[in-house]
Structures are given as structure tokens and as C-alpha cells.
Structure 1
Amino acid sequence: MNYLGIDIGKNNHVASMIGEDGKPVFRAFSFSNATEGAESLFAKLEAHNVHKDELEIGLEATGHYWLPVYSYLHDKGCKIHVINPIQMDGWRKGVEIRKRKTDVIGSMLIAEFVRYGDFIEARLPEEAIFSLKNLTRFRSYLVDSIGDLKRKIICVLDQVFPEYQSVFVDVFGKTSKEILLQFGSPAELEEVSAETLAELLADLSRRKIGFEKAEKLSRAAASSFGVTFCRDSFAFQLRMLIEQIKYIESQVKDTEAEICAIMDKLSSPITTVPGIGKKLGAVIFGEIGDIGKFDYASKLVVFAGIDSAVNQSGEFEASNNHVSKRGSPYLRRALYQAALVAAVGKSPDPVLSAFYRKKLTEGEHHETSVVAVARKLCYIIYSVLKEDRPFEIRNS
């Protein structure tokens, strides 16, 4: 058996191979992150009479750069070991201390690590779950982008029409956004009569908003303390920002439809867990991946980064330990949101809600109590996914 280690890079990768006896077959073969580059690697293997059945390949799951290499090798039917960078880093430090070699490079160390064989292999989820992870992270990016745009809009309004937020409590509601699109400054609103504005508001809000709101908006525009210079540039900027929000909101809806379609096909029992619907369930399911990689529920807690980070030095040990925040921030945020819904939502779970209140009576803060509920949810999720069964609703 031969062992090939690949040191992953953005544009180029480096491969080294050792034999069964640990002796180098070749070192530091560089190939590009392209089909031609991967083919040159196989040509190199053929030159050394190495068949894929006599080869084990190791590579680190470094960022996202490893995925194209993995995909190519997987399609070729190679035996691949995806190694967690944390494990590899520990091995790398140990080898460097023992051997003190200056010419040992990353790919050789990976090859030696695979030959040694004492590692926990990163398990890749099936395609549907991997798609969930990609789409839910993309949705998170879109939502965060909308948040950034909203902050920019508030900044513009503070300069050009600071009174606007006193008229519309929800600046980013459907009606308000349409008003901002059509009238980008107080001066433009002043040109419209209260009656015309009232009719427009009524049409936009399906008759929920009428003349009273129109009068208030007209008065605010007439007495606005906003800047009077560069009005056109501010109005233009405001319209562009609103249009961006509307477009990204449509993308969020389309992305959510894709996510829900995958969740429907998977029929996962995770949506039966208190506080978890399709959206949060998709995030949690996608981030966890294969539940089989966790031997115990406590390991899932650690993976989510909601375990306690012990603060200890010498004989001192802090009494109030914060969560470690290791692992996936997407998973951690989704669990926290699910815990909020389960503990203090409109239809809270009786057991988890009682546990939350108990924590409060013990002197814990709200956030600490919600995190405690999130830990309990981890145990429930672990059981539901491990046994592939729906959560049983408890009344006490």
C-alpha cells in the first residue's frame, strides 16, 4: 500500500507519497487546482506504477479549497481520508518536535499521518444534507446582507428625513418601503397633497392605513430638519438601497423554497423537536451532518460550542464559566433561536419552559438560561436523530 498526502492550496496543491515502509516515493509534486493539474497527478502515479487500488489518499478539510480535489478523486474511485485540521495540527507539532526536520513539508506529514492511521476521519454527509448546509449558510448571508442594507438606510434617513421613523414604526414594512421608493426626500412628499398620499397609503396597505397617517407624514415632511443640499443624491441612494433589499428578499424566499423542498424529501424527525421548524431544522440538520460521528450527546454539545469553557489558573477556578463558542456558529445560533421558541415562545414546550423558569429562579440571567435550554435541546436532537424517531410530546 502507498500513502499520498495532499497539502491543499487555493490555486495549487502539493502532493507527496510514501510506501508501506514509510520511505518517500516522491516529494512535493505541485499540481494546479484544475482538471489538467489533477490529471498530471495521476500521470505521476502511473510513472511510479501505482494503481488507485494500492493507494490511500489523505487531505485536510481546509476551508472550502479541498472540495474540488475531493470531488475529482471521489469520481475516480480513490480511497480518500478527509482529516480534521485540528488533529493534523497536533500531529504536525509532535512530528516536528521529535524529528526536528526542516525539509519535511505538509504533504509528507499528511502521508505519514495516513500511514500511521491513528486519526478520526471526518465523515462527509450525504449530498442532500450537504446541500442543506450550503443553502442555509447562503440564506444566512442573504439575511445578514439585508441587515447591513437596513442600517445604511437608517443612516441616510437620519440625514435627509430624521422624522420619518416617528411616522412609520416599521420603516421596512411593505407600505413604508414603497413610500421611500416613490418619495426619496421630504421635498418630494411636500409636492403631493394629503388626499393623494392618503389614497396611495390605502392602496399599499390594503385600506389599513389612511388619511390620519397621510396627514402625519405630510406634516413631518413640511417641518423636516433634514439636510436641504444634495437632495437628489440622497434620494437616489435611498431608492437604490430599497431596491436591493426587495431583490435580496425575493432571493431569500427562493432559497427557503429550495431548503423546504430538500427537507420534505428527507422527512427528518428533527422538525418534531420543540422550537424547531423547517428553517431552523434545516440549519441544525445541515450543520450536524452525520449524527453517527457523535458517540454521545455531550459531544454534540461540544461541537455546537455551547459547552462551558472552564476558566482556571493554578488554584483559581472561575465560578461563572462562559460557553466555549467552538464549532459551528451557524449551529450555535440556530440552537439558541430554537431554545428561545421552546422556552418563551407563543406555544412553549411545558418541560423546557419550566426548566428555563427554574434557571431564572436560581439566579441565572436570561441568556444563560436560554443556553441551558439549548444544551437540553442538543440531547433531545441527538436522541431523535440517532434513533430516527419523532420527539414525543410530554405534558409534564
Structure 2
Amino acid sequence: MSKFFNRPTVGIDVSADFSVVAILTPDGEIHRKPFKIMHNRNGFDYLVDQIKKAEEEFNMKTAIFMESTGVYHLTLFHFLKDTFEVCILNPLITNCNKNGDIRKVKNDKKDALTIANIGKFQNVKYSSVFDVEIYTLKSLCRDYYKFTDSKSTFKKKLSTDLRVVFPSYNSVFSDITGKTSIAILKCYSSPEAILNADKNELIRLISMHSRKGQAYSEKTYKKLIDAANEAVYIGLKSPSLFVKVINTIAVIESFEIQIENLLNEIHLLLCSDRISEQFKKNVKLLYSIPGVGELTSITIMSEIGDIKGFVKPKHLVAYFGLDPSVSQSGKFNSDRNVMSKRGTRIGRRALYAVALASIRKTRNGEPINIVLLNFYNENMKGKNKKVGLVAIMHKLINYIFSVLKNQKEYELRDPKIHSKMYLNNKSLPAA
């Protein structure tokens, strides 16, 4: 039974510009017809007045429930949380309850009543915690990944365009968006321009940006001339296509500036006194896990927020969407139980990158994490590579949960020694 069963409850169906509010009495009846409020100062003040009137009438504190709807609910939640008890519900919970009636009725008033009923009668999980600075840090990290993805899209576009107008250019440079390559394309955007360029000037340009010496610059120059001659012979010769190349380069450089700005702001915010010392400590604890980089540590920690909201490692597994989806009916049991992918997408992406790094070796041949590498090699033989990586991600979730709960840095231990220590601690009498 919900702890709000005997209290008046408020259900709010939030949209972009307005919200619809429903208030239930302590005995579950509709207190008044659902009403609409605009997302402005007058609308928010009117809502507060109506909730306070209900509290005075019943001489009880209300409980307010709303869905997590992207960013639309944040201003309203932030406005109400210091005055009332406000609970944020996962939309998956409310969606499962909106189809309870036989009649197919779907509108904002009905949804607001459904949310109020869920909060009043069902013992569901909800969140009441919101830290503005952690939310800001999470938003900055998510924007970083979005901009990085967009930059990758335009890098592929540049490669595609060059294959049309400059077919062999991709064989000259291993990274066509490197400093040397971009400098050449900006100065000499067509094969003809490269062929007509002064040799010494072109070699100097290559040497200045590559910083690899005269021999490398002359070798690259020869490859570039060969590619330009071939492009003149087989490439398309439309001036407008070269404009596409220059525009794409400008977009890539713009993304690089924005990504740099985001990284600077992330580090400035993390180092500021606006972020709690406990959160900073947790970031350092995650960074102690082999394979976890600084930005990855910040990303994962900002997605988790407060580890106190997770009682078991399995809860963290579900939050990252790594729990298996189950399909069973009668005697049928599906053998294709894929990940649910219902949790934090960016957190799962960061964790996947850590899993890849954990089973690699350094340039000296030393494993990043010898325990996970041995586990991957010994237990994942004959299995799909992605299945093995998901198993590694599960292991990493246990590491993350352990270091955050115990507030101790990661210690690399042999599994047999770790099991022996666990059994010894378990056999000790309670104090």
C-alpha cells in the first residue's frame, strides 16, 4: 500500500507550455475538476494557491506526482520542491496504467487523474531528489557526446565528398581531418590547385602542421601530387562540389570549437565549489578503476547522481539498461533475451567504452585489467563478441557499485583470493 493512501494527492500531466492538474481527496474522490495552468509566473502561483487550499480544507499535507518528461517538468518541479512533497515518476510506470479502462480515452485530464491515482494507491518507486549542478554537469556531458557524434557524421561526409572530387586523397593521410590534411584542403581545395601550387610552399605547409621533419614532408608531397594527378584524370570537375568540401570543413571546425568549450566548462564546473566534495570524491573513486578515463568517470557519475538510491548492484544494472528482457509464455521460453536498454543511454555508452578498454593491452603489451581480460578470454570462447562485452559491463557495474558504496579505491585482486577474502569476512561473528 502506498504511504500516501490516506493523504490528498495531486497528479500533474506536464507538457511543453502548460500542464493539467488533478487533485484527489484523502478518500480517493476527485476534489475538483482537473484544471489547466500555463507555464508562467501566474500559472505557477495559481497552482500553489489551489494546493494550499486543498491542504487547509483537509488539514493534511499533499503529495504531488508528475512524470519525468524530458526537460518540460524541471521548472515546475524546481518551483514546487521546496514548499511541497513532489515525486517524479518514470513514464514507463504511468504508461502501464493508462490502459486500464476498456474504453479508449486519452486526454490530458484523464492522464492527470491517472497519475494522481497511481501516487495514491500504488506503492511505486519515485524520485524527489534534484541537484541543479549535477543536472547541469549531466547535460554538458550529454551535449559533448551529441556534438562528437555530429562531428563524426560530417567527417564521414567529408570523406565521401573527397572520393568524388579527389578519389585518392584518402590514401595520402590516415586521418583526413587531421591538422595537416585540413590545412592543405583549406589552402588548395582542388587537385588542380595542388598541382599548380609552389612545391616549396606546399612542403613547408606540410612540415609546419605535421612536425615530422623534412623527409616526411617531401614523401607526403610526392603522394599528394600523385593523388592530384589521378584525381584530375578520373575525378568529377564541378566547382560546386569543392564548395561542399570547404563548407564541411568549416562545420567540423565549428564542432571542434564547441566540443572544446564543453570540455572546459565540464572541468570548471567539477572543480568549482558548486559541486559537492562527496561527488568529486566519487568521481575520483571511479577514475581508480582501470580503463575508466576522466571524462568517462564524470559522465557515469553524473548519470548515477546519488548512489544511495541504489540498494543492490542489480538496481544499477537495471538503471544502465543492462538487465535482460524476458519473454516467456506457458511452455515457451525465448532463448533470445536481449538487453532491455531502458536505462541511461549515455551511461551505457560510456560503460561500453570502458568495457572495450578493459580487455585491451597497452603498447608495451601489458593488460589494462588482467582480471577482466582473463575472464573475457576464458569464459567467452565461442560466444558472440558483444555477449562477452555485456558480461564485462556487468562486472564493471559491480566494481562501480563496490567502490562507491565502500568509498574505497579499486583494488586489482585475483578472483580466487577475492572469493577467499569474502568467505572469511562472511564467517566472522557480528560485532
The DSSP-based 3-state class of the residue aligned with 2:159 is helix
Corresponding residue number in structure 1 for 2:254? 247
TM-score by length of 1: 0.90
What's the CA shift for 1:335?
Answer: 1.1
Q: Give 1:314 deviation, angstroms.
A: 4.3
User: Which one of the candidate residues 169, 175, 180 is aligned to 1:175?
Assistant: 180
Tell whether 2:394 aligns with 1:375: yes
Quote the residue 2:85 is aligned against: 79
Q: How many residues align?
A: 390
Give the 5 Å matches for 1:144-163.
144-163=149-168
Deviation at 1:48, TM superposition (A): 5.9
Determine if contact 2:9/2:63 at 8 Å carries over to the other structure: yes
Distance 2:323 2:172 in 1: 45
**For residues 43-62 of structure 1, what are the structure 2 equivalents within 5 Å?**
43-45=49-51, 50=56, 54-62=61-69
- Out of 225, 230, 241, the position equivalent to 1:223 is 230
- Structure 2: distance between partners of 1:367 and 1:109: 40
1:41 and 2:47 aligned: yes
Which stretch of the first structure deviates more once superposed, 259-268 or 65-74?
259-268
- Find the counterpart in structure 2 of residue 267 from structure 1: 281
Give, in whole Å, the separation in 1 of the partners of 2:151 and 2:120: 48
Partner amino acid, structure 1, of 2:301:
F
Where do residues 110-125 of structure 1 align in structure 2 (5 Å cutoff)? 110-116=115-121, 118-125=123-130
Separation of aligned partners in 1, 2:113 and 2:260: 47
**What is the TM-score of this pair, normalised by structure 2?**
0.83
The residue aligned with 1:356 is: 376
Match of 1:237? 244
Q: 1:242 to 1:383 in 2, by over 3 A?
A: same
Task: State the distance in 2 between where 1:10 and 1:102 align.
Answer: 18
Runs of 5+ unmatched residues, structure 1: none
Amino acid aligned to 2:45:
E
Matched, 1:326 2:345: no
CA distance in 2, matches of 1:5, 1:293: 23
SS in structure 2 opposite 1:59? strand
Preserved CA contact (<8 Å) 2:86 2:128? no
Distance 1:56 1:147 in 2: 46
Cα shift at 1:102: 8.7
Match of 1:91 among 84, 89, 97: 97
* Aligned Cα root-mean-square deviation (Å): 2.6
Decide whether aligned partners of structure 1 residues 80 and 318 sit closer, same or farther in structure 2, where only a CA change above 3 A counts: closer
Are the aligned partners of 1:181 and 1:238 in contact in 2 as well (CA < 8 Å)? no
Distance 1:100 1:252, change over 3 A: closer
**Per-residue CA distance 1:159-196 (angstroms, 9 max, x = gap):** 11111101112111111111111121112212203332
> 2: CA distance between counterparts of 1:49 and 1:394?
57
Confirm or deny that 1:365 pairs with 2:384.
yes
Q: Secondary structure at the match of 1:323?
A: coil
Q: Give the whole-Å Cα distance in 2 for the aligned partners of 1:320 and 1:113.
A: 33
3-state SS in 2 of match to 1:322: coil
- CA offsets 1:45-66 (integer angstroms, 9 cap, x no match): 4666749973321111122211
1:67 to 74, 80, 83: 74
Partner of 2:421: none
State the SS of the aligned residue for 1:25: strand
Cα separation, partners in 2 of 1:310 and 1:74, compared to 1, 3 Å: closer
Whole-angstrom distance in 1 between the partners of 2:156 and 2:91 = 37
Question: What SS does the aligned partner of 1:54 have?
Answer: coil
Deviation at 1:309, TM superposition (A): 3.0
CA deviation digits over 1:25-50, x for unaligned, max 9?
22221111222321232344466674
